């Protein structure tokens, strides 16, 4: 549509992986579809097992259940559209569809950052102050911490998305990414975005860097406490309760920080796509695998659930 000398954009084109050959795109479709199904099944399984098994009703598994819900939402926002662009070359996305995808990407991303920090705090209290753990991490406190983590996604998603899509888009409409992320979309704006970019940097520090520093501080105290334990068995048990979370945090934050804290000039669009794939597609798949393979309680609970499901009911 034309308005004065501007071309008003009412849809976007996701460039995605269109530069690749059709054969390679078909292979990527099969790969990402497999990862997507594993992610959904793994996280649903974590939710079912931690809900059904009475031995997994501690705060750690309550937060893990919330993390699985977030990972499912995160995947549903990004992957189905990406699969569509790969298999049927449906690369267009409406203005509203792009805004909706970006909103929920911000929402689930900010909520996950805060929830990972909450999980680190839970492990800190459990290891560094075990006698007061049941009091500090009661049912009410856990529910409030989880609700606060989820709620944290609303302000950043609302402010960022509404601000971006209030700008005029009057030129090219090709988003050089496989989803509507903020940097490639804001590059299409034909207005001064310096104030927004300052706000976006502030939001990134608050919702990515600040939770990461809280997690880092928690684990410094946790490791200090573990190393002071007199018995090797006590050290092993303490470390085993937080090693899975530490690995998940490392995977998520390493790629997120590389994506959003590197200067634009030092990162090509293609490398940004690869980094984005790691925390939007690969990490959500690895989380349930890490928590199930590295956690003896989850493995034992999974065996009990399978046994109860497959064994005949006693009359």
Q: Is the pLDDT score of 309 beyond 60?
A: yes
| Partners of 93 in the β-ladder | 12
Mean pLDDT in residue range 103-129 = 93
Span of 81-95, 161-175, 199-213, 251-265 with lowest mean pLDDT:
251-265
Please indicate, yes or no, if residue 219 is contained in any of the structural domains.
yes
Mean pLDDT in residue range 159-164 = 93
More confident call, 310 vs 167: 167
DSSP 265: G
* Average per-residue pLDDT for the chain: 86
Q: Is the pLDDT score of 289 beyond 90?
A: no
Q: Are residues 34 and 285 in contact, defined by beta-carbon separation less than 8 angstroms?
A: no
Please indicate, yes or no, if residue 312 is contained in any of the structural domains.
no
Please indicate, yes or no, if residue 2 is contained in any of the structural domains.
no
Please indicate, yes or no, if residue 306 is contained in any of the structural domains.
no
Mean pLDDT in residue range 242-252 = 84
| CATH code of residue 235 | 1.20.1070.10
Please indicate, yes or no, if residue 6 is contained in any of the structural domains.
no
Q: Are residues 177 and 269 in contact, defined by beta-carbon separation less than 8 angstroms?
A: yes
Mean pLDDT in residue range 181-192 = 89
What is the reported pLDDT for 1?
Answer: 43
Q: Which residue has the tokens 């699969």?
A: 83
Q: Is the pLDDT score of 315 beyond 50?
A: no
Please indicate, yes or no, if residue 3 is contained in any of the structural domains.
no
Residue 205: which pLDDT band, with cuts at 50, 70 and 90?
confident
What is the reported pLDDT for 293?
Answer: 64
What is the reported pLDDT for 263?
Answer: 65
**Which candidate, 205, 203, 103, places its Cα nearest to that of 161?**
103
Q: Is the pLDDT score of 208 beyond 50?
A: yes
Please indicate, yes or no, if residue 314 is contained in any of the structural domains.
no
Domain that holds residue 52: 11-296
Mean pLDDT in residue range 74-87 = 91
Mean pLDDT in residue range 112-130 = 92
What is the reported pLDDT for 29?
Answer: 93
Mean pLDDT in residue range 295-304 = 75
Query: Highest mean pLDDT: which of 10-24, 80-94, 155-169?
Result: 155-169
Q: How many domains does the chain have?
A: 1
What is the reported pLDDT for 2?
Answer: 40
Q: Kindly give, in sequence order, each residue whose CB lies less than 8 Å from that of residue 81, ignoring residues fewer than 6 positions away.
A: 14, 93, 101, 179
Please indicate, yes or no, if residue 5 is contained in any of the structural domains.
no
**H or E stretch covering 257:** helix 232-260
What is the reported pLDDT for 243?
Answer: 81
Mean pLDDT in residue range 61-75 = 93
Q: Could you give the CA distance from residue 173 to residue 6 in angstroms, rounded to a whole number? A: 13
């Amino acid at each position: 549509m034309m308005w004065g000398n501007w071309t008003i954009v009412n849809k976007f084109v996701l460039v995605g992986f269109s530069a690749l050959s059709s054969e390679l795109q078909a292979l990527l479709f099969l790969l990402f579809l497999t990862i997507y199904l594993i992610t959904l099944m793994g996280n649903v399984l974590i939710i079912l097992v931690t809900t059904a098994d009475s031995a997994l009703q501690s705060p750690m598994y309550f937060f893990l259940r919330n993390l699985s819900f977030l990972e499912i939402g995160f995947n549903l926002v990004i992957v189905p559209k990406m699969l569509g662009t790969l298999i049927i070359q449906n690369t267009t996305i409406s203005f509203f569809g792009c805004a909706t995808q970006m909103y929920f990407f911000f929402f689930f991303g900010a909520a996950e950052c805060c929830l990972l920090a909450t999980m680190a705090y839970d492990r800190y209290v459990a290891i560094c102050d075990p006698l007061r753990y049941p009091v500090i991490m009661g049912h009410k406190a856990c529910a409030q911490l989880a609700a606060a983590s989820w709620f944290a996604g609303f302000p950043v998603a609302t402010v960022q998305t509404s601000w971006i899509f209030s700008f005029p888009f009057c030129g090219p409409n090709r988003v050089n990414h496989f989803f509507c992320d903020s940097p490639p979309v804001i590059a299409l704006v034909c207005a001064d975005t310096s104030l927004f970019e300052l706000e976006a940097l502030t939001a990134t520090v608050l919702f990515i860097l600040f939770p990461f520093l809280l997690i880092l501080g928690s684990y410094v105290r946790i490791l200090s406490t573990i190393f002071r334990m007199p018995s090797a068995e006590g050290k092993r048990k303490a470390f085993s309760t937080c090693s899975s979370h530490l690995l998940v945090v490392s995977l998520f934050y390493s790629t997120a920080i590389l994506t959003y804290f590197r200067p634009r000039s030092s990162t090509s669009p293609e490398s940004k796509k690869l980094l984005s794939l790691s925390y939007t597609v690969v990490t959500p798949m690895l989380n349930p695998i890490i928590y199930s393979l590295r956690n003896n309680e989850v493995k034992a609970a999974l065996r009990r659930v399978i046994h109860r499901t497959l064994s005949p009911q006693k009359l």
